[in-house]
Structure 1
Amino acid sequence: MAKSKSKIKDIKRCAVYTRKSSEEGLEQEFNSLHAQREAGEAYITSQKQEGWILVPDEYDDGGFSGGNMERPALQRLMKDVEAGKIDVVVVYKVDRLSRSLADFARLVEVFDKHQVSFVAVTQQFNTTSSMGRLTLNILLSFAQFEREVTGERIRDKFLLSKKKGKWMGGTPPLGYDVVDRKLIPNEGEAVIIREIFKTFIETRSQIETAERMNDMGFRTKRLPRKDGKVAGSKKFTRTAIYKLLKSRLYIGEIGHKGEWYPGEHKALIKLEVWAKVEAILQGNSSNRQTDSRHRRSPSFLRGFLFGPEQEALIPTATRSKGKLHRYYVSSMARKHGHKHSPLPTVPAKEIEFLVVEHLRDLLKQPEIIFTTWQMLTDQETLNEDQVREALNDLSDIWNLLFPEEQRRLMKLLVSRIDVHQQGISIRVNQEGIPTITNELQGEVTWP
C-alpha cells in the first residue's frame, strides 16, 4: 500500500495549451492546433514513467494573438492553475504561450506561486531549472524583438503604399466602393457627396446642410456585415457633414497621419469647390466666438444642465458688435439641428440667474439649515445661528466670485439641474453644504 501511495503522490497532471494567431484553416479536419496538441500529448506519454498524465480539458485558442493575455482558453488555463488542478503546462513552442516578455513573466510568476512547471516540447525547456528560466527569457526577448521589427516593416510598407496613393483598407467612405482593394466611385453615393458640398456652399451651415440631406432622404453609407446585419445608413449629423467636408479624399488624395498624397482613385469634387468649402469652414471657425476670452470665463453650470430627454445642455457663445453673448444649447440641437431639439437655445445669464435665485431660496429653508447644522455637530465648531449666517453670506457674495470659484461651489451644492419648458428642478448635494459653511466661517482657507 505504501508503494501505491507513493505513485499517487508522484502523479503530475499535465495540460496542453495550443494557439494559432489567425482563423485561417481552423475549419479543416486537421489543423495547426491539432498538430500542436498531438506533439504535446506525445511528449506527455514519453514522460509516463515520471508520473505524467494528460488532463481531459483542452485549452485551444484559435485566431488569437500571442501579444496579449486576452485569450479565453489561456484565461481558463490560468484559473485551473490557480485552483490547483494542473502541475505541468505543456506547449509546442514558447511563443505559443506568449510573445510578450512582460506577459510571460507574469505567467511564470503564477506558475511558480502554484508550483507548476512549464515545458516547451520542441525546445526542451523546463522552468524548474535556473538555466531553463534564463534560456526562456533570452528566447522571449528575441521573439519580442522579432515581433517589433515585423511591426515596423508592416508600418513602413503601409506608409510606402499610402505615398503611392493606394487604398490600404478600412471602412469605405461614402461615395466609393472597394473593388480589388481599390476605391471605385459609387455613382449613386457620389451624387450625395456633390450635393453636400453644393448645399454647404449655399447655406454655410453644417447643421442646415445635414437637415437638407435628411429631408431629401439621403443617409450615411450603408455597410453590410458578415453576420447579415447592416451598419450605417443613418441620418446625417453636423459632425458627419463636417468630416465629409474636411476629407481631402474627395479631391483624389490619400491620407496618412495628417499627411496627404495623390491617390489612385478618381476625385468626386473639383479642387476649387473643395477650396471654397475649406475657406467657409475656416471663416466659420474664426467667427464662432468660443474664443480664449470665453474659455477664461467658463459657464459655471457646464455639466449640470439636462433637458427633458436627458440630453446635456452645452455652453456656447457668439460675439456681436464686440459683445459676447453666452448660451446653453441642447446637445441634440448641436447634433441634428434646432428643430429636432425639445428645448430652445437658453441665454446663459437667464438660466444662471434662475439657478442662483433658486439656490438662495433653498439655502434659506429651515430644514436645509437644520440638516447642515446636524451634519456639523460632530465638529462642535458652529451653532445653528452661525450656519444660517454662513449660508446667507454665500447668497450675498455669489456675484462677486470668479466663474471658476462659482463652478467649484456649484459642484459642492448641486448634483444635477433638470431644465424643462415650465422651469427648472435642482437636485441639491446635501453633503457638500457643510464644507461651504465651514469655508465661509473661516475654518477652511479659500483658494
Structure 2
Amino acid sequence: LNVLLSFAQFEREVTGERIRDKIAASKAKGMWMGGPLPLGYDVRDRLLIVNDTEAKLVRRIFDDFVTLRSATLMAKAYGAEGAVTKSGKPFTKQTLYKMLHNRMYLGEIVHKGQSFPGQHQAIVTQAQWDAVHALIATDGIERRRETKDRQRDPVLLRSLLFTPDGERLVPSYTVKKGKTYRYYSPVKHRRLGAWASQHGALPAAAVEELVTQQIVAALSAPHLVQAVWDRIRESHPGLTEPEVVLPMRNLAGLWHQLFPAEQCRLARLLIERVVMADGGLEIIWRDLGWQALSAELRPGSIGAELQELEGAA
C-alpha cells in the first residue's frame, strides 16, 4: 500500500510539474493563459482582443497620471463621471496603481517576474509607460522617506478610532512650510479621496488629549481600581491592597512621563475602540485588557517599578 501511495504521490508531482512547464512555455510564447481580464481587452478564441472603448480610458489613465500625479484625484474624477473598472466597480487608488503597473498594456505577458512579447496588441506606448513610471519612482522615494520618518513616532490611536457609523480613522499627515500637521482621517480618504466620506479629518493632538484624559481618569477612578484589586486578590491572595492600588494610582500620575511607545501599548491593552460622536468621544474599554493590567501590577513588573519611582520621588 505504501508503495502504491508513493507512486500516486510521484505521479501527482510529475503531472503538476508538466502543467507548470506547459504554462511557462505558453507564456514564453506570449499566450494569455487566463485569469482576471484587464480593462481594455476582451477574449475571443482564447486571444486578447483590444476593446476600443475601454482602451481609450486606459490610455487616458496613463496620460492623466502624468498630468495630475495623483491617483486620488483621478479616482475622484472618474467617480464623478461614472467611469468603472472591468468588473463594474468604482476606481480606487489601488486599482489605478495596479493598472499603471500592468505590463499587459505594453503588449507583454509576465510570468514569475519575467516579461515576454505577447500575442496581443499593446494599448499604451513605451513612451507613455516610461513617463508614468519615472514619476512613480520619484514619488516612491519621497513617500518612503516620509513614511520612515513618521514611523519613528508611535501613534496613540492607530486602529482604535472610529466614526459613529463604524468607519475607521487612520493617521494622516500634511506638511506646510516645513511643519508637519497630524490628523486622523477616514480610511476612505486614503483609498478614494476626501470626497468619498461624509466625515472630515480630526486634529490628532486634540483627540489624543481627550483620550489621554479619560485613560488617566479611569486609572484613578475608585470603582475601576477596586475592580482590578478584586480580580488580583482572587488569583493572588498573598498580595496586599497597597501593593496593587498604589501602582495603579501611580500609573495615572506618571502617564505623561511614559515613553510614547509604552503609552500606545497601554492604550491598546485597555481600549477596544474609541468612537467620535456629537462633538465628543466614547471609549469602549477592553475587559480582558484590565485583567492583563492586573497581571502587570504584580510585584516585579510595572507595578513594582512604579512603587520604586514613588519611593524615590
Same fold (TM over 0.5): yes
Contact 2:65 2:71 in 1 (8 A): yes
Alignment of 1:358 with 2:223, yes or no, is no
**Aligned equivalents of 1:325 and 1:209: distance in 2?**
25
**Number of residues paired by the alignment?**
301
* TM-score with structure 1 setting the length: 0.62
Aligned to 1:247: 102
Q: How does 1:330-345 map to 2 (within 5 A)?
A: 330-345=186-201
Secondary structure of 1:291's match? helix
Contact 1:398 1:406 in 2 (8 A): yes
Aligned to 1:396: 253
Contact 1:239 1:335 in 2 (8 A): yes
Q: How does 1:35-434 map to 2 (within 5 A)?
A: 136-221=1-86, 232-288=87-143, 289-317=145-173, 324-378=180-234, 379-380=236-237, 381-383=239-241, 387-420=244-277, 422-433=279-290
Cα deviation for residue 240 of structure 1 reads 0.8
Contact 1:167 1:181 in 2 (8 A): yes
> What's the CA shift string for 1:307-360, capped at 9, x where partnerless?
222122223445566655443322222222111123222333332222111212
Structure with the higher fraction of residues in helix conformation: 2
- Structure 1: which 5+ runs fail to align? 1-135, 222-231
Cα deviation for residue 445 of structure 1 reads 5.2
**Aligned equivalents of 2:277 and 2:97: distance in 1?**
30
Of the structure 1 ranges 368-377 and 188-197, higher mean CA displacement relative to structure 2 is found in: 368-377
Contact 1:197 1:245 in 2 (8 A): yes
Structure of higher RCO (CA pairs closer than 8 Å, 6+ residues apart)? 2
**Aligned equivalents of 1:420 and 1:250: distance in 2?**
46
**Aligned equivalents of 2:146 and 2:252: distance in 1?**
29
* TM-score with structure 2 setting the length: 0.86
> What's the CA shift string for 1:377-422, capped at 9, x where partnerless?
3334242x66554333223322333333223212321111112451
Q: How does 1:1-12 map to 2 (within 5 A)?
A: none
**Aligned equivalents of 1:235 and 1:310: distance in 2?**
21
- Structure 2: which 5+ runs fail to align? 306-313
**Aligned equivalents of 2:53 and 2:8: distance in 1?**
49
Contact 2:231 2:294 in 1 (8 A): no
Instruction: Tell me which amino acid in the other structure corresponds to 1:172.
Output: L
**Aligned equivalents of 2:230 and 2:146: distance in 1?**
44
Instruction: Tell me which amino acid in the other structure corresponds to 1:182.
Output: L
CA 1:396–1:285 in 2, change beyond 3 Å: closer, same or farther? Answer: farther
**Aligned equivalents of 1:290 and 1:426: distance in 2?**
31
**Aligned equivalents of 1:290 and 1:298: distance in 2?**
14
Aligned to 1:66: none
Cα deviation for residue 306 of structure 1 reads 1.6
Contact 1:364 1:388 in 2 (8 A): no
**Aligned equivalents of 1:345 and 1:284: distance in 2?**
24
> What's the CA shift string for 1:65-120, capped at 9, x where partnerless?
xxxxxxxxxxxxxxxxxxxxxxxxxxxxxxxxxxxxxxxxxxxxxxxxxxxxxxxx
> What's the CA shift string for 1:250-306, capped at 9, x where partnerless?
111111122222212111111111111112222222222553333333313222112
Instruction: Tell me which amino acid in the other structure corresponds to 1:433.
Output: W
Instruction: Tell me which amino acid in the other structure corresponds to 2:286.
Output: N
**Aligned equivalents of 1:249 and 1:400: distance in 2?**
55
Instruction: Tell me which amino acid in the other structure corresponds to 2:103.
Output: R
**Aligned equivalents of 2:177 and 2:30: distance in 1?**
47
Cα deviation for residue 174 of structure 1 reads 0.5
C-alpha RMSD over aligned residues: 2.5
Contact 1:327 1:347 in 2 (8 A): yes
**Aligned equivalents of 2:156 and 2:27: distance in 1?**
46
Instruction: Tell me which amino acid in the other structure corresponds to 2:71.
Output: Q
Secondary structure of 1:296's match? coil
- Alignment partner for residue 436 of structure 1, among 265, 268, 293? 293
Instruction: Tell me which amino acid in the other structure corresponds to 2:52.
Output: E
Cα deviation for residue 425 of structure 1 reads 0.8
Contact 2:49 2:120 in 1 (8 A): yes
Structure of higher CA gyration radius: 1
Contact 1:393 1:440 in 2 (8 A): no
CA 1:253–1:402 in 2, change beyond 3 Å: closer, same or farther? Answer: farther
Instruction: Tell me which amino acid in the other structure corresponds to 1:176.
Output: Y
Cα deviation for residue 239 of structure 1 reads 0.8
**Aligned equivalents of 1:367 and 1:237: distance in 2?**
48
Contact 2:216 2:255 in 1 (8 A): no
**Aligned equivalents of 1:275 and 1:367: distance in 2?**
65
Aligned to 2:308: none
